[in-house]
Chain A
């Protein structure tokens, strides 16, 4: 595997289910990100991890719980989601999170989530 991979690619879940999204980067990067992509809206940054430490949490509801066990893996644990949480969830990684935005982000293919 190369680049950034995400599993599963598609997920359907009920509002009472618990599921997890997985992201793995094979680029030797130190920073990883979760984004939510909804139709006709800009990508929304959810969480940022740098060297396994969470550095950003953009007011994301607690029904989304991230986990970063090491610099190569990032999880998004989901529980008691709402239908409006249906979206494409993208993972990205970058070398670091140095200032002035010089770190290019590389994206995974995404997980298409449908909450019924």
Chain B
């Protein structure tokens, strides 16, 4: 079975600083995808970034980048130049195998402090 673990329930960061959110997962699949979703207080879940397991290059989207360590089954999210609008719950998710079932972590609540 697939599991996703986010060990940091809450984090905070000063505006303009950099923060890293951790995620580990467990799977026996060889081909899979990993995602980071952001859920602001308004509750709309938004895709932040996506990584394909067969790609060694880490995905980046503007201020958001990942550190994907396949052997360690680690998928951390780095947010650079943090902004107040980055305050949200961040969920790490895994999808692989048959179908399109997603497995989510319990989330990390990030607060950006002015």
Binding site for B on A (CB under 8 A): 31, 40-43, 45, 48, 55-56, 88, 90, 92, 94, 96-110, 112
Contacts and interface: CB of A to CB of B under 8 A. Distances in A.
Contacts of A92: 45
Contact of A88 (B33, B43, B105): B43
Interface of B: 4, 9, 29, 31-33, 35, 37, 42-47, 50, 52, 91, 94-107
B45 to A, nearest CB: 4
Contacts of B33: 100-102
Contact of A98 (B52, B100, B105): B100
Contact of B96 (A43, A45, A100, A112): A100
A107 B9 CA distance: 22
B106 A101 contact: no
A23 B13 CA distance: 35
Given A101-B96, A102-B33, A42 B103 contact: yes
Contacts of A110: 43-45
B104 A43 contact: yes
Given A42-B106, A109-B42, A102 B52 contact: yes
A42 B32 CA distance: 19
Contact of A101 (B9, B44, B46, B100): B100
A88 B35 CA distance: 21
Given A100-B96, A101-B94, A105-B100, 5 more contacts: A55-B99, A99-B98, A101-B33, A102-B33, A106-B47
Contact of B97 (A40, A42, A101, A104): A101
20 contacts: A42-B103, A42-B106, A42-B107, A45-B101, A48-B100, A55-B99, A90-B45, A92-B45, A96-B100, A99-B99, A101-B32, A101-B95, A102-B95, A103-B95, A107-B44, A107-B45, A109-B42, A109-B43, A110-B45, A112-B43
Nearest to B50: A104
B57 to A, nearest CB: 17
A100 B47 CA distance: 18
